[in-house]
Chain A
Amino acid sequence: MNIAGDKLEQIYERMLLTRFFEEKVAYLFSMGTVHGTTHLYVGEEAVAAGVSAALKSDDVIASTHRGHGHCISKGIDLPRMMAEFLGKEAGYCKGKGGSMHIADLESGNLGANGIVGGGIPLAVGAGLAAQMQGKDHIVVCFFGDGASNQGSFHESLNLASIWKLPVLFVCEDNKYGMSMSSSRSMNIGDISLRAQSYGIKGKKIDGNDAISVYKEAEAAREYVKKNGPMLLVCDTYRVLGHSKSDANVYRSKDEIAQWKLKDPIERMKAAMLESGLFTEDALGHIATRAKQAIEDALKFAQSCVYPSADTVCDDVYA
């Protein structure tokens, strides 16, 4: 396999953190203790964890409305993320952003985005800044199959291609916009073909194979640094609905069951055992640690205060 044990552990841990975070969030929603809505990443963990494992600390990411996985894998502080999720003052955005707008510009996270395709031009801008500032890092832009139909996607790839911006466009093709399957929403079966329209390289990979994602992302990163933008399409699937109010009427239980068999966490677990570097016990420990981290984050978040009413007008302008 040629991947160091600590790298494998990092990927696995992040996948677990993401899974447990999402499960916790789903639970909190079912208990009626959380405001608004959220979009869960369950079943897609390999993409965020695998890609992020290939990034350097000063690389920048732009995320989507389904962005908890990206944030966790970029190395966000979990307690503060949970606090933001609950709308508490100690949250990343002082409670002003919530699930869909969690961001941490200091650590290179341009933020989750409530507009489908809304973050893609921003990522291009970050790439432009890196180029103009003579910086060495790249920008990774996550978005879904639905976003690849937005005008902003096409404008962004075009501009990045002509100016050779260091942007890795990562499409998480989870087969559905909200209820519309990608087979109905576009006339092509392979989104990576869209790269050709912009004269850039496009590649489609198994998005549920974390190790494969990691390797491809590493290679992609090197490629982007030398050659400019690239489109990496990761085949994956979201096991839960689009959002909390999704009754899944647009897909069959069979389909969901089929994809559950390809669960990325199970596959990663198997690969780590196969590598001979990890025992079941060791993996169990990692899982326990991850669960505990989520519990600790939740305890912290629950103990925090809400922002005072006076802060409602703060931070509109710089």
Chain B
Amino acid sequence: MRELTYAQAVREAMTLEMRRDENVFLMGEDVGLYGGAFGVSAGMFEEFGEARVKDAPISEAVIVGAAAGAAAMGMRPIAEIMFSDFLTIAMDQLVNQAAKMRYMFGGKASVPMVVRTASGSGTGAAAQHSQSPEAWFCNAPGLKVVMPSTPSDAKGLLISAIRDNNPVLFFEPKMLYRTKGHVPEGDYTVPLGKADIKREGADLTIVSYGRMLPICLDAAVQLEKNEGISVEVVDPRTLVPLDKETIITSVAKTGRVLIVHEACQTGGFGGELAAVIADSEAFFKLDAPIRRCCGLDVPIPYCPELEKNAVPDKDVIMENALSLVRG
């Protein structure tokens, strides 16, 4: 199997779907001639032309709103919002219009659109270009929220998202764009709403997604090698709808859980995960508190040393894991 970067995998998903279905098109800032701020859509303008790879002005509200309107009328747009921090400019169109339309209209409308956006810190882009705001959108019924952690997941999930008849918010952690992984060729889907056990284990469950997931896997390998601790790592992949069963089963098996995400801890999605676990059969198997090890409650600082401090790293993850298992 060949290796692709995460960015290439995303591009491949969009390209395959646009070849397959003429209703799919891409719209966003600098996606056409420039090939995307992160190079994700490079080459697509050349293949599909400006009719289907549309450069938009700096107008997040109408980018998302026009996507919603076009979707309601039968198209399948992919709207790109360059940095997830900018979703705030399109909040009304995303949350009040796209998410609610179907319900408000008694099921008479569907909005088959995808909003793709680059999220997360680590590139020195500082506070207004580094947020991981996925939690806000998990509280807007009607939206689906996805954040893949590997290239093969990214491709399969994006194809599923494009084919889904609901508005899907697709977060691409920008620090993962250059990571490589095996990606199957051709058409395949990874279902939305299905978690993936990325590593099996018996002593502790780590639930993580996005940029933190590979770091958790590294921590798991080291914990096994150095400490003889067997760690199971579960990647929800889709936050809404959440695959609760897989998570509950895993925590019931190991009796211990550590939740890791780069978004700020307070009000972050980890709270939702913790509550789901606490109010389930897994509760009676818990032999340690449900712990979160997530981003600090700060806007992301500029200075690289501080930026690193704002999110968990392998050491603090391992420290928390050890304390849960041995404490």
Known: A93-B105, A115-B97. A159 touches B74 (CB 8 A): no
Instruction: Spot the interface stretch: A63-71, A100-108, A187-195, A222-230.
Output: A100-108
Query: Which of B63-71, B214-222, B286-294 sits within the interface?
Result: B63-71
Nearest B-chain residue to A121, judged by Cβ: B65
A113 to B68, CA, bound (A): 14
Q: Which residues of A contact B25 (CB under 8 A)?
A: 132
* A152, CB-defined interface residue at 8 Å: yes
Within 8 A of B (CB), among A150-201: 151-152, 155-156, 158-159, 162-163
Interface segment, B51-59, B130-138, B252-260?
B51-59
Residue on B nearest A92 in the bound complex, by CB: B106
| Contact present for A152 and B70 (CB under 8 Å) | no
- A65 CB, nearest partner CB in chain B, Å: 12
- B142 close to A (CB within 8 Å): yes
Contact flags A239-252 to B (C-beta < 8 A → 1, else 0): 00000000000000
Taking a contact as CB atoms closer than 8 A, the residue among A110, A127, A315 that contacts B107 in the complex is A315
Q: Which residue of B lies closest to A123 (CB)?
A: B69
Alpha-carbon distance A83/B325, docked complex (angstroms): 60
Question: B261 at the A/B interface (Cβ < 8 Å)?
Answer: no
- A114 CA to B107 CA, complexed, in Å: 18
In the complex, what residue of chain B is closest to A96 when comparing beta carbons? B106
Point out the residues of chain A lying under 8 angstroms from B166, CB to CB.
317-318
The list of the 3 closest CB pairs from A to B, nearest first, reads A125-B69, A121-B65, A94-B106
Do the beta carbons of A125 and B65 come within 8 Å of each other?
A: yes
B69–A128 touching, CB < 8 Å: yes
Asked whether any CB of chain A lies closer than 8 Å to the CB of B112, the reply is: yes
Q: Using a CB-CB cutoff of 8 Å, which residues 116-140 of chain B contact chain A?
A: none
Give chain B residues whose Cβ lies under 8 Å from the Cβ of A257: none
Q: How far is the CA of A103 from the CA of B65 in the complex (A)?
A: 17
Asked if residues B92 and A152 are in contact (CB atoms below 8 Å), the reply is yes
Chain A residues lying within 8 Å of B70, measured Cβ to Cβ, are 125-126, 128-129, 132
Distance in Å from the Cβ of B243 to the closest Cβ of chain A? 15
Are B57 and A129 in touch, CB under 8 angstroms?
no
- Asked if B59 and A155 sit within 8 Å, CB to CB, the answer is yes
B141 to chain A, nearest CB (A): 5
Contact of A122 among B72, B107, B112, B165 (CB under 8 A): B72
Q: Which chain B residues in 54-99 approach chain A with CB under 8 Å?
A: 54, 56-57, 59, 61-62, 64-75, 77, 89, 92-93, 96-97
Which chain A positions have C-beta within 8 A of B96? 114-115, 118
- What's the Cα separation between A113 and B166 when bound, in Å? 19
* Contact pick for B141, options A97, A162, A316, CB 8 Å: A316
Chain B facing A: main interface SS: mixed
Are B108 and A92 in contact, CB atoms less than 8 angstroms apart?
A: yes
Given contacts A125-B65, A152-B61, A318-B112, contact A97 B72 (CB under 8 A): no
Q: When A152-B61, A159-B59 are in contact, do A126 and B73 touch as well, CB less than 8 Å?
A: yes
The answer to whether B110 has its CB under 8 Å from any CB of chain A is yes
Query: What is the minimal beta-carbon distance from A195 to any residue of chain B, in angstroms?
Result: 17
Q: Which residue of B lies closest to A122 (CB)?
A: B69
Give every chain A residue within 8 A of B275 (Cβ-Cβ).
none
Query: What chain B residues lie within 8 Å of A144 (beta carbons)?
Result: none
By beta carbon, the residue of chain B nearest A307 is B106
- Show 22 A/B contacts (Cβ-Cβ < 8 Å), sorted by A: A94-B107, A97-B105, A103-B108, A106-B108, A111-B105, A118-B97, A120-B62, A121-B64, A121-B66, A122-B93, A125-B65, A125-B72, A127-B69, A128-B66, A129-B75, A130-B73, A133-B75, A155-B61, A316-B141, A317-B144, A318-B110, A318-B112
Q: Is the CB of B97 within 8 A of A103?
A: no
Report if A93-B72 is in contact (Cβ < 8 Å); known contacts: A132-B25, A316-B141: no
Minimum C-beta distance from B298 to chain A (A): 29
Is the C-beta of B223 less than 8 angstroms from some C-beta in chain A? no
Indicate if A91 sits at the interface (CB-CB under 8 A).
Answer: yes
Looking across the interface, which residue of chain B has its beta carbon closest to that of A60?
B73
Query: Residue B1 at the A interface, CB < 8 A?
Result: no
Flag B22-63 by CB within 8 Å of A: 1 or 0 each. Answer: 000100000000000000000000000001101011010110
Q: How far is the CA of A13 from the CA of B74 in the complex (A)?
A: 33
Report which of B57, B72, B93 forms a contact with A110, defined as CB distance below 8 A. B72
Which residues of B sit under 8 angstroms from A104, Cβ to Cβ? 108
Q: How far is the CB of A132 from chain B (nearest CB, A)?
A: 6
- Chain A CB within 8 A of B103 CB: yes
Give the distance to chain A from B286, nearest Cβ to Cβ, in Å.
30
Distance (whole angstroms) from the CB of B107 to the closest CB of chain A: 3
A110 to B25, CA, bound (A): 21
* B108 lies within 8 A of A121 (CB): no
Of B73, B89, B109, which is in contact with the most chain A CB atoms at under 10 Å from its CB?
B73
Proximity bits, B1-33, A CB within 8 Å = 1, else 0: 000000000000000000000000100000000
Q: Are A152 and B106 in contact (CB under 8 A)?
A: no
Within 8 Å by CB of A105, from B52, B65, B68, B109, lies B109
Are B103 and A315 touching (Cβ within 8 A)? yes
Give complex CA distance A115, B64 in Å: 15
Min distance, Cβ B231 to any Cβ of chain A, angstroms: 34
